[in-house]
Amino acid sequence: MNLIIDVGNTSIKLAVFEEEKLLIKKVVLEEGLIEAVNNLNKDYKNIKHVIVSSVGNLGEDIKAYLTKNHQVLYLSHQTKIPFKNLYATPNTLGIDRIALIAGAVNQFPDKNVLVIDAGTCITYDFINSKNEYLGGAISPGLRMRYKALHNQTAKLPLLDTEAIESIIGNTTKTSINSGVVNGLTVEIDGIIAQYKEKFSDLTIILTGGDANFLSKQLKSSIFANSNFLLEGLNFILLNNISE
């Protein structure tokens, strides 16, 4: 069994896989990570290999605990990956984006795939049918857009994410929601349309914390999969174990 640890900007996602089958996933904060891993070890006694993907810093005590009890792979730019990375600055490519592309390679081999990760930021990552990663784009996510309007102005309130009923906002609240939600969905649909003009037979994956919300707003045909990054990390780990 494999344990996947994805350390994000605000929380940590844990998942246990048996080969490629997801058995359980949960979300914890860093201070609860050791306890959560310990509980998973009790429930799934065959966990042997661990992969850690971290966009931030993971405490040395946690690293020591993991290394003591498991064979740990820390995903980095030196890790063996199942695709050709043509990013001009490969050492600056986020490891979360590497995992997403690995997931695309595993689930849609020899396809043109655009992976859209709707989290703190919106990332767009493209791999072609020749198994070549070409790059993509990064833009502000939903919550970042709401917070920017509130933090960079004197009077605009900080709102919760809410689906829009009309493109025309007739109050400050509905105007903000229309600007944020409609603005982002038009952006995503527009970027998808640009990719479709260049690449035929395009497969589009939408994942991340806001994937379910956004999938209901988009016009484009997509595959929504909230576990895509975890599945990509597991695929990288399986490839490295089999060396």
Please report the sign of the dihedral spanned by the C-alpha atoms of residue 237, residue 239, residue 242, residue 243: negative
> Could you tell me the domains of the chain?
2-74 (3.30.420.40), 84-233 (3.30.420.40)
Please report the sign of the dihedral spanned by the C-alpha atoms of residue 26, residue 28, residue 30, residue 35: negative
Among residues 90, 97, 142, 88, which one has the least CA distance to residue 116? 97
- State the chain's mean pLDDT as an integer: 93
Host H or E run for residue 76: none
The reply to whether 97 sits in an annotated binding site is yes
The reply to whether 34 sits in an annotated binding site is no
pLDDT digits (tens, 9 = 90+) for 13-64: 999 999 999 999 999 998 889 999 999 999 998 899 999 998 667 778 888 8
The reply to whether 117 sits in an annotated binding site is yes
At 220, is the secondary structure helix, strand, or coil? coil
pLDDT digits (tens, 9 = 90+) for 64-94: 888 888 999 999 999 999 999 999 999 999 9
Per-residue pLDDT at 243: 58
Q: Is the pLDDT of residue 222 over 90?
A: no
96 is catalytic: yes
Instruction: Give the other-Cβ count within 10 Å of 49's Cβ.
Output: 18
**Edge-to-edge strand list for the sheet holding 132-140:** 84-85, 132-140, 121-127, 112-118, 202-207, 223-224
The reply to whether 172 sits in an annotated binding site is yes
Longest dimension (CA), the chain: 60
Per-residue pLDDT at 1: 93
Name, in order, each residue with C-beta under 8 angstroms of 197's C-beta and a sequence gap of 6 or more.
none
Residue 18 dihedral angles phi and psi, to the nearest 5°? -110, 110
Structure tokens at 198: 């260049």
- Report the predicted TM-score, pTM, of the whole model to 2 decimal places: 0.91
Beta bridge partners of 136: 125
Q: Which of 43, 96, 110, 160 is catalytic?
A: 96
Host H or E run for residue 4: strand 2-7
The reply to whether 125 sits in an annotated binding site is no
